[in-house]
């Protein structure tokens, strides 16, 4: 039995990737949940909004790279990120102006908004594929690892290596900063408070003189920022491919609903619940089990509960269970 090596293997293959993935999901789910709280519909276009923001960032990154501008060990994409956010903000404000505002004025049913957002999804999807193509794009540069598996083995003398990718470090750090900023904004500033008031009770907020169009605009701006950051972090960590962002929609919605739609804290918790379930269920536990169990009991199979092709099924099953058992989610969301 060798608990230390087992723990290192666990951290390397489960904990660190799941925390990074969970942060990305949490940022995505925050965007969905904010739209839900303020505009009161499930935004199916969120995945493709992420793709659009990430695409602008990728293009600006390439421009910087061609100029020879870089951040040294950090990926150049961080430098391009603000431009991506600006591009994405312009996009969401345009779609709100020419698409959603009309239905808001009509007080259309939420399901109409959902259909419309599906239309926007495909327009964005087509736009992204038209501009950058449907293939994988690489835009990561700089140091690949904070600690590579080999250095870690040499440092500690353990048999298992612990690799900590730069992108994972950046993801976790950025997520913490962004979430802290967001909560400070929602809880401490006047605008943030007006947003929460609007989300809690629209009529009361209107009576107290809150300008709804301004609240909506600020929500879209924040969502554009969150979506772009989530999209870029996911793209850096895995790779940028337009279609994967559409597929991220299911885990993102599952995260938001598990935590309680409309509740920002819930979105974060939901993101980590989904990410950890997904990674633990699809991870082959053989390595960890060989370290922990006595030699005679060592498994001869991979000890993988589900093949990685069924990642989506994990979020889906969790979603179904939550809908069956506690439709308001873990943190009392707004929706029933």
**CA–CA separation, 34 vs 43, rounded Å?**
10
Beta-carbon neighbour count of residue 91 at 10 Å?
22
Residues in binding contact with other proteins, number by CB under 8 A: 48
Please choose, out of 13-21, 127-135, 268-276, 283-291, the segment that lies near other proteins by the rule CB under 8 A: 127-135
* Helix or strand run (H / E) with residue 15: none
Which burial class, exposed, middle or buried, applies to 291 when counting CB atoms under 10 A from its CB (0-12, 13-18, 19+)? buried
Beta strands in 35-88 (DSSP E): none
Which of 164, 223, 137 has the alpha carbon at shortest distance from 20?
A: 164
Contact 33, 261 (CB under 8 A): yes
Which one of residues 60, 257, 268, 274 is an interface residue with other proteins (CB under 8 A)?
257
Which one of residues 191, 201, 211, 307 is an interface residue with other proteins (CB under 8 A)?
307
297 sits near other proteins (criterion: CB under 8 A):
no
Q: How far is the CB of 64 from other proteins (least distance, A)?
A: 20
Beta-carbon neighbour count of residue 250 at 10 Å?
18
240 sits near other proteins (criterion: CB under 8 A):
no
Please choose, out of 40-48, 61-69, 73-81, 285-293, the segment that lies near other proteins by the rule CB under 8 A: 40-48
Contact 231, 51 (CB under 8 A): yes
129 sits near other proteins (criterion: CB under 8 A):
yes
Binding string to other proteins for residues 60 to 99, with x set by CB under 8 A, is what?
---------------------------------------x
Which one of residues 73, 82, 133, 299 is an interface residue with other proteins (CB under 8 A)?
133
281 sits near other proteins (criterion: CB under 8 A):
no
Binding string to other proteins for residues 94 to 123, with x set by CB under 8 A, is what?
-----x--x------xxxx-xxx-xxxxxx
**Angle, CA 264 vertex, CA 259 and CA 269 arms, to 5°:** 40
**CA–CA separation, 153 vs 138, rounded Å?**
29
**CA–CA separation, 297 vs 134, rounded Å?**
47
Nearer to other proteins, 44 or 220 (CB): 44
Please choose, out of 10-18, 23-31, 213-221, 253-261, the segment that lies near other proteins by the rule CB under 8 A: 253-261
Which one of residues 59, 84, 319, 329 is an interface residue with other proteins (CB under 8 A)?
319
| DSSP state, residue 11 | I
- Structure-block tokens of residue 38: 């303020």
Residues that bind other proteins (CB under 8 A): 41-42, 44, 99, 102, 109-112, 114-116, 118-123, 125-127, 129-130, 133-134, 246-247, 249-250, 253-254, 257, 301, 305, 307, 309-310, 312-313, 315-316, 319-320, 323-324, 327, 335-336
């Amino acid at each position: 039995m060798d608990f230390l090596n087992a723990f290192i293997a666990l951290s390397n293959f489960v904990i660190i990737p799941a925390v990074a993935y969970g942060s990305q999901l949490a940022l995505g789910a925050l965007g969905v949940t904010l739209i839900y709280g303020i505009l009161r519909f499930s935004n199916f276009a969120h995945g493709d909004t992420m793709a659009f923001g990430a695409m602008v960032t990728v293009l600006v990154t390439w421009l910087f790279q061609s100029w020879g501008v870089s951040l040294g060990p950090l990926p150049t994409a961080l430098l391009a990120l603000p431009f991506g956010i600006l591009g994405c903000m312009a996009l969401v404000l345009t779609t709100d102006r020419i698409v959603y505002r009309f239905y808001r004025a009509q007080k259309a049913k939420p399901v109409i908004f959902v259909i419309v957002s599906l239309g926007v999804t495909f327009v964005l999807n087509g736009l992204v594929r038209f501009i950058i193509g449907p293939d994988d794009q690489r835009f990561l540069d700089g140091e690949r690892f904070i600690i590579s598996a080999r250095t870690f083995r040499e440092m500690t003398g353990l048999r298992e290596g612990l690799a900590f990718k730069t992108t994972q470090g950046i993801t976790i750090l950025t997520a913490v900063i962004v979430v802290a900023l967001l909560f400070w904004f929602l809880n401490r500033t006047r605008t943030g408070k007006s947003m929460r008031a609007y989300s809690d009770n629209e009529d009361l907020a209107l009576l107290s003189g809150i300008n709804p169009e301004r609240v909506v605009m600020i929500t879209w701006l924040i969502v554009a920022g969150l979506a772009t950051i989530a999209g870029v972090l996911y793209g850096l960590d895995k790779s940028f491919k337009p279609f994967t962002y559409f597929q991220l929609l299911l885990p993102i919605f599952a995260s938001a609903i598990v935590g309680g739609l409309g509740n920002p804290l819930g979105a974060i918790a939901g993101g980590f619940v989904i990410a950890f379930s997904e990674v633990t269920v699809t991870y082959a536990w053989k390595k960890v089990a060989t370290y922990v169990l006595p030699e005679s009991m060592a498994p001869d199979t991979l000890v993988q509960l589900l093949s990685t092709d069924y990642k989506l099924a994990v979020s889906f099953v969790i979603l179904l269970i939550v809908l069956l058992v506690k439709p308001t989610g873990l943190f009392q969301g707004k929706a029933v």
